[in-house]
Chain A
Amino acid sequence: MPDLVLGISAYYHDSAAALVEDGRPVAAAQEERFSRRRHDSSFPANAVRYCLDEAAVSLDEIAAIAYYEDPQLKFHRVLATVFGAAPRGFQSFRETLPNWLAPGGKLATTDTIRRELAALDRGRVPRIDVRQHHESHAMSAFAPSPYESAAVLCIDGVGEWATTTLWHGRDNQLEPVAELRFPHSLGLLYSAFTYFCGFKVDSGEYKLMGLAPYGKPRYADLIRTHLIDVKPDGSFRLDMRYFEYLRGQVMTGAAFEKLFGGPRRIPEQPLTKREFDLAASVQSVTDEVVLRLARTARARTGERRLCLAGGVALNCVANGKVVEAGIFDEVWIQPAAGDAGGALGAALAVSLERGAGRQHLGRGADAMAGSLLGPQFDDEAIGHYLTSHGIPHRRLDTRTLMTEVAEALATGKIVGWFQGRMEFGPRALGSRSILGDPRDLRMQSTMNQKIKFRESFRPFAPAVLAAEAKDYFDVRQESPYMLIVAPVAAAHQLEVDPTATAAGLELLRVHRSSIPAVTHVDYSARVQTVSPDRMPLFHQLLTAFKVRTGCPVLVNTSFNVRGEPIVCSPADAYTCFMRTDIDVLAIGNFLLEKADQPAWSEDSDWRKNIPLD
């Protein structure tokens, strides 16, 4: 009888559910994919139902529920903050305290979860095991990693108290080594700059990261002098006089504005040189802190491998710096490094404590199954959807599908690609992706303007056949989850006129490599290495594209428009296909051409219904 543990994260950001069987992840999904509300933080009822359905079980067969953080310890931090911020902070006090203390408030989270699970009417609710936030992150990083032992570093905004934690993972155990505590948080520092540059906190951080290469780090010294005291071992404290998050609902205030020469950028207003340079500056400081933390992790544990999780582990530029520095032989990053992955980590913690082993060890692979842990739709289900909605399509065998899609891509068409199980985590890895030809000079602007409807400075990322990754990118190790940034290989870089004076967004127009659509303005790329064991269908497509063009690289961006979650179902995929200028939709073994589709209409302007992220 398998031992099943269901993990849940909820109520802050990115609710998710994850099912672990005998220490092995078997299903996981973020609630937003089902509810279609980006970063949905409500109880993940749909994700829980999916996990149970995937394993064909009810709650009766679940040994334990694991919740990803400790509400009582978190409340302790909230209270300490309230008292610590006084006499300022009444408004925050007035708004925050009822959320905790009211009947059904956050202090009673486990009762709420019990009630929500009971309301699903899927059986008896088992015991609920509460794990701490950073333990959940750490376990999500270590347990599924391919390493018998490793240093584990978790860096985020904040859990209960901890913002940065260092662990030593050995066999089935995680030993805590040291931590840093709220309010001193690298994640919150980065979020403060995200806010100040006019992006949304908790969703715009990766935009700031993408903006950084357009600027110069001319504010980095100011940041180091006034905002953060970083010790040689990477530990740090922030100067809270510049930040407002202790007492208000915003990140920065007057002191921050004075330091950086004016008020924050209003969202959606044009970006200026100041924002480019602020982004470059905070990225530079973040890189430096993460590198020092990594060196300390190596020194304190003696381990040659590193596991990373926590929201800051989604900063793939910093990850790339750690890999490039060669501090460790290898680095493994949990693909769902943010709070959704906490559901998985909590479940793994309970599962291992109940006696499960890390059965994948010794096979040279991790336990994440390519992070393809979400729902899939077979050809019967897809065919039924297409036929019942009168959607013109052709059904092909797999080989013909690959050939036709590769041909479409090679002729400049943009393809929606929907195959197999949905990814768990923020990255599309070739299951729910929009694909394009990286050699096409116009692809980056076309995709931003006509497909994703997002800011023009945003770069796109490459997927490359794993065996040929080193020909195209200076990447020291595999990067299956697209969480490491590496330079485009010199052989594929183009010489740029040294007298050229392009700056800021004008850098976009400079042709800098043989794969311009995935080469950022500083020659970097967020690489996904695709191997046949993890992503067989996507590997087949990349191979077909290489046969057709000689290029083993594709643009791989998530199958969604700006502000909406990545598509989950065939209906989501068709809707996104029809709302955008995607030319071809390859869904299962079905191929749909835009030119064959009937006119698309909706009752309202869909763009107004999707909040901007």
Chain B
Amino acid sequence: MRTIQYFLLYFLIVVPVGIIGRLVHDPLHRKWRPTAESYWIPATAHKQAGRK
């Protein structure tokens, strides 16, 4: 892909999806929660990637 194609992909798809998506849910959980006791995420059952 050439730079112009990446440019279009980024600004026509990534940017709108990213901005709108963040209104609902930030996948990076950036907000501080000053009153929360902990930021730990409990472990789920460990998934293995498996053999190839």
Contacts and interface: CB of A to CB of B under 8 A. Distances in A.
Interface in A218-250: 229, 231-233, 235-237, 239-240, 246
Contacts of B42: 177-178
B49 to A, nearest CB: 4
A233 B28 contact: no
Contacts of A100: none
A204 B19 CA distance: 35
Given A131-B49, A180-B41, A184-B39, A83 B32 contact: no
Contact of B14 (A83, A130, A180, A236): A83
A97 B6 CA distance: 9
A87 B49 CA distance: 32
Given A127-B52, A246-B28, A181 B21 contact: no
Contact of B49 (A73, A97, A178): A73
A109 to B, nearest CB: 10
A86 B43 contact: no
B41 A128 contact: no
B18 A177 contact: no
A12 interface: no
Contacts of B49: 70, 72-73, 129-132
Contact of B28 (A81, A87, A177, A296): A81
B29 A181 contact: yes
Nearest to B17: A83
Contact of B18 (A84, A114, A165): A84
Nearest to B27: A80
A613 B10 CA distance: 35
A135 B48 CA distance: 10
Contacts, number: 118
A94 B38 CA distance: 36
A90 interface: yes
A464 B38 CA distance: 42
Contacts of A233: 37-38, 40
Contact of B52 (A93, A130, A237): A130
Contacts of A610: none
A231 B36 CA distance: 8
A87 B38 contact: no
Contact of B3 (A83, A94, A180): A94
A182 interface: yes
Which DSSP category, helix, strand, loop or mixed, fits chain B's interface? Answer: loop
A98 B1 contact: yes
A82 interface: yes
Contact of B19 (A86, A93, A177): A86
Contact of B39 (A81, A83, A90, A235): A235
Contacts of B34: 229
Contact of A83 (B7, B18, B41): B18
Contacts of B21: 83
A135 B43 CA distance: 12
A383 interface: no
A231 B18 contact: no
B28 A183 contact: yes
A85 B19 CA distance: 9
Contacts of A85: 18
Nearest to A231: B38
Contacts of B6: 90, 93-94, 97
A121 B10 CA distance: 42
A110 B32 contact: no
Contacts of A21: none
Contacts of B38: 231, 233, 235
A176 interface: yes
A82 B14 contact: yes
A179 interface: yes
Contact of A93 (B14, B37, B46): B14
Given A81-B28, A82-B14, A83-B17, A176 B39 contact: no
B28 to A, nearest CB: 4
A235 B32 CA distance: 12
Given A178-B40, A236-B39, A84 B51 contact: no
B16 to A, nearest CB: 8
Q: Which of B28, B38, B43: most chain A CB closer than 10 A?
A: B28
Given A90-B7, A233-B38, A240 B30 contact: yes
B43 A83 contact: no
A128 B18 contact: no
Contact of B15 (A86, A131, A229, A239): A86
Given A86-B10, A181-B41, A176 B46 contact: yes
Contacts of A183: 28, 30
B18 A87 contact: yes
Contacts of B32: 229, 237, 239
Given A127-B52, A130-B50, A237-B30, A177 B43 contact: yes
A191 B46 CA distance: 29
B24 to A, nearest CB: 12
A400 B38 CA distance: 61
A179 B41 contact: yes
A93 B48 contact: no
A475 to B, nearest CB: 31
A84 B22 contact: yes
A295 to B, nearest CB: 13
A93 B18 CA distance: 13
Interface of A: 64, 70, 72-73, 80-87, 90, 93-94, 97-98, 110-111, 114, 127-132, 135, 165-166, 175-184, 229, 231-233, 235-237, 239-240, 246, 296
Q: Which 6 pairs of residues, A with B, have the shortest CB-CB distance?
A: A86-B18, A176-B43, A130-B49, A235-B39, A83-B18, A80-B27
Given A165-B43, A183-B28, A237-B32, 7 more contacts: A80-B28, A94-B10, A98-B1, A131-B48, A135-B46, A181-B29, A240-B30
6 contacts: A110-B52, A130-B51, A131-B48, A178-B42, A179-B43, A239-B30
